[in-house]
Amino acid sequence: MFRGRDRVRSAIHAMIGLMADAPILGPSSVLLTGRVAVVTGGGSGIGAGIARGLAAFGAKVAIWERDAGRSAAVAGGLGLTVDVREADQVDEALERTIAELGPVSILVNNAGGVFSSPILETSEKGWDALHRSNLGHVLLCTQRVARTMVAAGTGGSIVNITSIEGVRAAPGYAAYAAAKAGVISFTKTAALELAEHGIRVNALAPDITLTEGLVAVAPPGAEARFGLTVPMGRAGHVDEMAGAAVFLASDLSSYVTGQTIHVDGGTQASSGWYHHPGNGSYVLGPH
């Protein structure tokens, strides 16, 4: 019995020792100074916002983007023309990023695409295309960058951009939603496999976010309707996604891994509840 108590005391003392050696939490914990970050699809929208946010907190940022013009316009560090669905292009971009900026310790898998895919009309080619652009590259980029993190022994943070559509039905967009659900599941497994190497893997799930693309296709008055759909009463801003990405990339989240954070103003929690257009009270379903 006494030996058991001694073991418990030893474990407690060891834990206290580890806590004493831990860095003290403070404003510097959010800084990314000297770290190298890769943001895929960072030439516009949420990706561009995240790239600017990481740079604002001190990271050296490489943007991997298919559109050469957009990557050059956003990148304060390094803009590379890369199709992240292609392994040889990813390998080349990673090699150049390390050569010009240094070892990568932050990866944001943001690239993706969407088009309508009703189940009765979806072709095998369309299904495969949506999965390659929304899920396949997440494995590819994670694997390649994580290998360099393991080899360097430095650990790191990987942030996967999924969507609210990964956790709810999306009529007309079955393939896209399935791919985004795959990103969430992949994030959990990658977090477990890479934890022993000091690599954290998390995901961010946006919903209605004011990007250039959304503004271009939204009909007049759409922003007011967004306010009815979102519990917080408005659409999100790319800087709010960037804030969450900075948190996950920084030491503030040093014990967070395998999680999906919904940066959506409460829409995932609402599960169909929305603001009545007349009096603003919550209603469920048609009014």
Residues assigned a catalytic role: 176
Q: What is the DSSP letter of 25?
A: P
Helix, strand or coil, per DSSP, at residue 232? coil
CA–CA separation, 68 and 43 (whole Å): 9
Neighbours of 201 (CB within 10 A): 27
* CA contacts within 13 A on the Cβ side of 204: 28
Among 115, 9, 14, 137, smallest CA distance to 65 is for 137
- For residue 145 the two structure tokens come to 């960058």
CA–CA separation, 72 and 107 (whole Å): 19
Q: Give residue 224's identity as a one-letter amino acid code.
A: A
Give the pairing of strands 78-81 and 60-65.
parallel
Give the pairing of strands 282-284 and 273-275.
antiparallel
Helix, strand or coil, per DSSP, at residue 80? strand
Q: What is the DSSP letter of 218?
A: P
